[in-house]
Amino acid sequence: MADTNLTLTLYGIKDLRLEDKPIQEPGPGEVQISIRSVGICGSDVSYWQQGRIGDYVVTTPMVMGHEPSGVVTKLGQGVTHLSVGDRVAIEPNQPCGNCGLCKNGRYNLCEKLKYLATPPTHGCLARYYCHPANFVYKLPDNVSFDEGALVQPLALGFYACQRGNVSVGNYVLVCGAGPLGMAVVLAAKARGVAKICVTDISQERLDYIKRIGADVTVTVGKEKPRVTSSRVVEALGREADVSIECSGHYTSSSNAIYSTRATGTVVQIGFGGPTVEIPLVIATLKELDIRGMARFANNYETVIEAMATGKVNAKQLITHRFSLENAIEAYNAALRREGVKIIIDCTRN
């Protein structure tokens, strides 16, 4: 196979292919980027295995990858804040910029939002990729390309804490110890919380998340959420000020409600079924704020600064690295849930 622009493309359910594609030229307001590192996300695996996530369905071939970093190689017309040779992280959002939500800074809710590797928008898992320059951010010299690829998942964690108004001295419950839960823990620690409890069904994941910042953990069994909640409150020493649900399981959402103090906040991130049963009366009588979250907005620079200043150690999340030539092997490792964060190196050998 020639390798002008080696690219990983999803053609359908369980049909990933490495193929060569032409190198695109940047349009007005865009930059061309030599991609260096791309992380694999759970959503990538879901599209590969199931061909869809909710209403987003893969109907035509789609390039994978939405957690990228790289080096600017060409500038499109009108781009002045970046230069060829800049090391950058790439925010996967591509909003319209004209609607009321965009103008109010809530561009993550734009009805015309395009998001990398989300049907029908192509991703960036290739040697070269072009992206709107307004969503490309310079990386400091002390932030590696691999860390640059982790800005995207960490942006989710930071935005979750923003939605929950997590602040200094808070007691926080994080439901789910996967990569998203880990990002939330790192973000909450950077915000100066007093104590974090994490729940999960996997003791191995809980052991790992405790090493990166969780203070206490609770292994979830088949007991009712109220029983789990009593163990959470015991582990924390009191009810949580903020609970952030990352697993998507309805019992976990119920546990979050039971475990949060009156007038506290529950942030729901995880996707489960389209409808779930929760103890709404308890939430009502506690006057809880239950808040949703749609990706993230306006925080890439904050995350990069947190990495550069040592407030967040993202490198500890990386457990596996593969070359782009071995990208399908990398996806199989992600399917087997090996390690925590898998990075694909897109530089040409």
pLDDT tens figures, 13-47: 999 999 999 999 999 999 999 999 999 999 999 99
Residue indicated by tokens 């987003």:
56
Class of residue 321 by CB neighbours under 10 A (exposed 0-12, middle 13-18, buried 19+): middle
- Structural tokens at position 80: 């002045």
Domain spans, the chain: 6-138+313-345, 157-291
How far are the Cα atoms of 67, 75, 116, 142, 277 from residue 81, in angstroms, in the given order? Answer: 22, 10, 22, 20, 49
DSSP output for 337-349? T-SSEEEEE-S--
pLDDT tens figures, 116-155: 999 999 999 999 999 999 999 999 999 999 999 999 999 9
pLDDT tens figures, 40-74: 999 999 999 999 988 899 999 999 999 999 999 99
Looking at domain 6-138+313-345, what is its CATH homologous superfamily? Medium-chain alcohol dehydrogenases, catalytic domain (3.90.180.10)
- What percent of the chain has pLDDT above 70? 100
Looking at domain 157-291, what is its CATH homologous superfamily? NAD(P)-binding Rossmann-like Domain (3.40.50.720)
Residue indicated by tokens 């959470």:
232
In sequence order, the 6+-apart residues with CB closer than 8 A to the CB of 226 are 254, 258
φ/ψ bin of 105: left (φ > 0), alpha (ψ from -120 to 50), beta (otherwise):
left
Mean pLDDT estimate for the chain: 96
**Phi–psi pair at 220, nearest 5 degrees:** -90, 130
